[in-house]
Structure 1
């Protein structure tokens, strides 16, 4: 069964900026989805900010194995209820790939628990991405490095938690470096942050970027779901695996009160 991948995009800059519209006449979300299409193991759908519930309904997320997130201008417009819904699905095992300025999205900050801040410059600089973890599945089939002729600069320090793995490190013409491919796990969900993707440049027409995204979807996929992972059930004495006797004072009395507090 193909990996059901949902590409989420703000779809804001495409409507307001002619350069972005020229780069992505069908929207950035559709361009990203097209980059995934050569992999027959991936099936794609798209959703945008403007749809009811931002296209991230309970039913849609239940049918999603991996969610790809691109945002920039309208992070604050994403409803907190939807952010919590997505976070819960990640904890339960849905994969999440966060792109470029999605580092400041509510969902990435929620899952990282840090400011996710950085320095930046929009000057059309060459970005050279070094593969620093060539044995990682996300780096499969990639050269030692690859370049994007025009990109927005992101510079360290990047105030995110220490990652599980660093896959890419970027160098820019202005001299800055940046950890541009980072993996995390939150609950049962695999998370990958990938830096490139400024909207005024044709990054999501680049074939190597497409290879990275296809690899990342396959890596992030978890066939299992642990829907109980956010539960905090009371385990009464009579259900203990080994027989024990209840003793000492108690704060909670009876299962009903404990359930009512959750």
Structure 2
């Protein structure tokens, strides 16, 4: 059997860690390769790690063709959907895949619409009687081409990746602004999505320096950025208070109650966000 391994597809999804690869190798040696490798013609689409291990040890394996593949875009979308359903991926990895899916679907829909606009002729009046249409109505033809459904909003992406909308926003910021070293740190789990998104707002040189110093320094850099954002707001509030000395102060009791209400609202908002993130991870 001639199986072609394309490096493009092999590297399309996050590789296994050394520990994960070792665990898979032990499993295959003990139980054999139970799941068939997925092919598109001669091209290996799914099962690169299993194929490599089976070839190394001379283990038998089965293959199956996926007849739905018509293009490399179909292959990419299928691979993304397969991996989005796996629990072994981190939040960051799932978010990146969902964002990648959005780009592929948006691009192919835009391309299909442009082609349809160029080739679509005016729709003739419906024929009388039961005679069928000679050609498919343009709207129906376009609808068939435009599947799958696009991920238009951040909420759509969040549902596809089993994340919160705020987490998707952090991942977008990391992809756009973070230095490669910071991206590598969040991929490795050295810092959280939140911390990486905060560090990504720093100049690239500062990001690289923090990453080179290790994960503790990255966390400290995120902490410094948060504190620097908090300080101007505190100073602004103090300046406003000094600018209006003649204003009649509220009673101590009312002021204390207002502060307590604000504190409780902030705590509730934080708890809701934590519950949302935990629920997304447990799905």
Q: TM tier, shorter chain?
A: under 0.3
- Larger relative contact order, structure 1 or 2 (CA cutoff 8 Å, min sep 6): 1
Higher helix share: 2
Higher strand share: 1
- Normalization by structure 1: what TM-score? 0.25
- Normalization by structure 2: what TM-score? 0.24
